[in-house]
Structure 1
């Protein structure tokens, strides 16, 4: 009898293993069924615009289904784009509490920093974004996020403390932003030496050179202002509309001024340069030469502003037609007075006022003079 018991032991063990395995499978199936029900319930709440209930339902699944992180990130980003920052924050905060792999954890930290910034919680956003600056993958996005924070709060000196990290980045926009923030930091106490150093260290940015030239012009040192202004025109000919009036305050010989205007008018087809060159021809040559120059340019490049200049030249030539031409010029001027002068090349924002920081997309030095038939 005892021998039979020993023979039955393996059978009992096998039976126990089989039943145990079935029990585990049954438990897993129950858990998966529960997850499926909760997920379906959460999605139903979303589809019926019961977003708060949907979030609560879906967040309960996080501890069970951590593998679905990308789904939750997409959902949170959807809420953020809709402006529902509190909902995005709740999801990202819950994700941030999970023990995840480093790449996922850093991504969630960055996304949460963006949520806090959107909600106006700048201190929280800064505390999350700052450590990411030390990482290779998130250095550039984190720096851009921090610069957005410092721009909103006008903490220019905090941005300048990150200049080493910015130089390690390959981002052109970050380097231009840093140069602009440096100019902002010295707005109350401009210094020629500091502005010159800033100009030399940031060849991509035009604002330090613009600020340096304005400093010299305010001090009635036109000769010193000439070089930075000419370098801006060489790099960004589209800025001639704003730079040429400043260069007129500098000391130019007649031939030097003529050569500059000719190059901009004939090679860059700049409308402001064409108008100024017509004035030069009328003064140093004849009104007929100025008129013929404008007619040629209008055939090559239709422009309302050059047409206005032609009307002005003809008024001086014909006193009999002066009154009629003056009335037409007034109509043209009324038309131009309503036209925008600047446009952001990044987001398309249009304005009559010049901004170093685009009010729409918050990018530095992207708002530039417009070209085309109404351009300058």
Structure 2
């Protein structure tokens, strides 16, 4: 009998192992069935436009199956794009509570911060974003979101405090934004030294040099103004229409002024430079020479403003021609008065006045003078 019991022990052990394994498999299958049932129920709620119930049903699965996080992130982003920020926040907050790997947890934190920003909860968004500026992968996106917050709350000093983090990125747009915010901080009490330093630190931005030129002219420092304006013209010749009137105040010699205008007119086909060069020719040579120059340039590059200048010259040359051309000139002037002068290269927003910050897409220094047949 003891021998029989001894022989039956392995059989009992094997039976126990088999039954235990079968029990675990049964529980696993039951768990999967529950997940499938809850998921199916959640999808049915979505299909019948019962989104609140759908979210509650689907969020219950997070406690059971965390491997579906990417699906939940996609669902939350869908709600955010639709403007349902409360639903997106609810999903991201639930995901944020899970114990996840650091990379995934920080990505969810970033998405939740964007939800808070979209919902106008700037303080919550800022609290989540500030730690992410230490993350190399998320730093640039977090800084851009923070800058949007500081712009909305008029807290430019907070953006300036993040300049070391900006320096760790390769982002040109962040540097331009930071330069513009610092110029705005100096608007109440601008000084040449501070603006000169900003112009040196942020060569990507033109606003510091623009502000420096205007301040230097106001203080009769024509050398500083000349250097700042020429630096912008070299980088952004399309701004000639706004910069050449300032440059004309820098006490240039007539020949130096003529050479600069000729270079801009020939090398960059700049309309404003050609108009001013026409005036220079009319003053220093003759109306006929100015007219010949205009006719030549109009044949090379048709432009309404050059045509307008030609009408003015013809009116000056003959009183009879002036009477005939007066109505034509009036039509041309009315046409040009209706045209936009600036356009955002990012979103296409058009305006007759310059903006350092595009009112439409909120990009810094993206609104630039328009070129083409109506351009300046």
1:156-184 Cα shifts (integer Å, max 9, x gaps):
11111111111121111111111111101
Distance 1:128 1:91 in 2: 16
Query: Paired residue for 1:74?
Result: 74
Distance 1:280 1:373 in 2: 23
Query: Paired residue for 1:351?
Result: 351
1:18-50 Cα shifts (integer Å, max 9, x gaps):
122111111111111111121122222223322
Query: Paired residue for 1:130?
Result: 130
- Asked if the contact 1:176–1:202 (Cα under 8 Å) also holds between the matched residues in 2, the reply is yes
Distance 1:128 1:149 in 2: 12
Distance 1:353 1:91 in 2: 43
Query: Paired residue for 2:205?
Result: 205
Aligned counterparts, 1:60-209, within 5 A:
60-209=60-209
Q: SS of the counterpart of 1:363?
A: coil
Query: Paired residue for 1:59?
Result: 59
1:307-337 Cα shifts (integer Å, max 9, x gaps):
1111111111121021221211111111111
Q: SS of the counterpart of 1:61?
A: helix
Shift of 1:6: 2.9
Query: Paired residue for 1:251?
Result: 251
1:321-367 Cα shifts (integer Å, max 9, x gaps):
21221211111111111111111112222221211111122111111
- Count of residues in correspondence between the two structures: 376
Shift of 1:113: 1.0
Query: Paired residue for 1:37?
Result: 37
Distance 1:151 1:236 in 2: 26
- Asked if the contact 1:110–1:142 (Cα under 8 Å) also holds between the matched residues in 2, the reply is yes
Query: Paired residue for 1:50?
Result: 50
Query: Paired residue for 1:288?
Result: 288
- Asked if the contact 1:209–1:228 (Cα under 8 Å) also holds between the matched residues in 2, the reply is yes
Shift of 1:191: 1.1
- Asked if the contact 1:85–1:119 (Cα under 8 Å) also holds between the matched residues in 2, the reply is yes
Distance 2:78 2:338 in 1: 38
Shift of 1:150: 1.0
- Asked if the contact 1:223–1:251 (Cα under 8 Å) also holds between the matched residues in 2, the reply is no
Distance 1:45 1:334 in 2: 59
Query: Paired residue for 1:316?
Result: 316
TM-score of the pair, normalised by structure 2:
0.97
Query: Paired residue for 1:20?
Result: 20
Query: Paired residue for 2:365?
Result: 365
- Asked if the contact 1:72–1:91 (Cα under 8 Å) also holds between the matched residues in 2, the reply is yes
Distance 1:339 1:48 in 2: 50
- Asked if the contact 1:287–1:313 (Cα under 8 Å) also holds between the matched residues in 2, the reply is yes
Distance 1:286 1:38 in 2: 88
Shift of 1:9: 2.4
Distance 1:253 1:345 in 2: 36
TM-score of the pair, normalised by structure 1:
0.97
Distance 2:85 2:60 in 1: 20
Structure 2 unpaired stretches of 5+: none
Q: SS of the counterpart of 1:62?
A: helix
Shift of 1:139: 1.4
Shift of 1:57: 1.4
Q: SS of the counterpart of 2:343?
A: strand
Distance 1:48 1:218 in 2: 67
Distance 1:115 1:137 in 2: 19
Query: Paired residue for 1:306?
Result: 306
RMSD value over aligned CA atoms?
1.3
Shift of 1:3: 3.2
Shift of 1:273: 0.9
Query: Paired residue for 1:332?
Result: 332
Distance 2:76 2:372 in 1: 42
Query: Paired residue for 1:341?
Result: 341
